[in-house]
Amino acid sequence: MNETVWLLKTVLQQEHYSSSTSWNTFYIESSTLSNFNQKENKFLKKFIEEYNPSSDNFHVLDIAMGQGRNSIWLARKGYKVTGFDSSIEGIQIAKNQAKNLNLTTLQTHITTIEEFHFGFEQWDLIVCMYFPIMNETSYLRRIEQSLKYNGLLIVEVFHWDSLSDEYIIPIDVTYRTNDIPLLFSNLTILIYEEPIDYSDFGNKLTKIIRYVGQKQYSHIYS
């Protein structure tokens, strides 16, 4: 479950918004929420525009794609994008947008990260924005082994220093300095930064972590 919906509600409403059913409600209401970035993530946009990978046979996986703001943007650039989310409403919004834009390079799946089949050396880029990255060997291995040789993982999450009484941030998407590189220690760090910037959820200046790692090896796990 993507816990970031908690940022948009009060403490008293958090319990209600911890259910998958509530995520359907959130995506229905998302177009009217001023504190939710409905456009593509700007770190992702900047990286792709500077890295400028060829759209020829470039496969992207968007973990917890939500209503598809990042997936749609990537598909419009010509990349072959697969996204999944547990929210039926979120996926339906993405599918409707893709249909209206005549996009044929976006595939969507209603599923959880536990059930999704990542495959082996399948993705050139995996996008993971404000999603809880569990410190479990099998979980991390599934992500790493699904990247192609020279494949990229891009992550944006909240920094631990952002926690405060006034700004409610769920622990699951909050990390300390160097937590993300340590979780993916087999990947080579291309970008690691901790800027003060507007997050996608909350519409407040806060400390966030931005990371890009690259798989500079090809290895079959036993």
- Give Cα separations from 19 to 15, 16, 101 (angstroms): 8, 6, 31
Token pair of 132 as six digits: 């809880």
Encoded tokens for 161: 């220093």
The residue that leads in pLDDT, 7 or 108, is 108
Q: Which secondary structure element, helix H or strand E, spans residue 208, and what is its range?
A: strand 205-214
Distance of CA 82 to the CA centre of its chain: 12
Q: For residue 191, how far is the Cα from the chain centroid?
A: 16
Surface-to-core class of residue 99, CB atoms within 10 Å of its CB (0-12 exposed, 13-18 middle, 19+ buried): exposed
Written as six digits, the tokens of 201 are: 């959820």
- For the stretch 130-152, pLDDT in tens is 988 877 778 889 999 999 999 99
The pTM of this model reads: 0.87
Q: Rounded distance, CA 37 to CA 115, Å?
A: 27
- Residue 80 is inside which H or E element, if any? strand 80-85
Residue scoring higher pLDDT (219 or 120) = 120
Q: Is the dihedral of CA 115, 137, 148, 191 positive or negative?
A: positive
Identify which of 198, 211, 213 has the alpha carbon closest to the alpha carbon of residue 42.
Answer: 198
Domain made up of 3-214: CATH architecture: 3-Layer(aba) Sandwich (3.40)
Residue 21: partners with Cβ closer than 8 Å, 6 or more residues away: none
Instruction: Name the token pair of 144.
Output: 């790493």
Q: Is the CB of residue 154 less than 8 Å from the CB of residue 212? A: yes
Least confident of 19-28, 98-107, 159-168, 186-195: 19-28
Determine phi and psi for 77, rounding to 5 degrees: -85, 0
Residue 166 burial (CB count, 10 A): 5
> What pLDDT does residue 34 have?
62
For 42-95, the pLDDT digits (tens) are 999 999 999 999 999 999 999 999 999 999 999 999 999 999 999 998 999 999
Planar angle of CA 40, 131, 123, nearest 5 degrees: 70
Cβ–Cβ < 8 Å for 75, 14? no
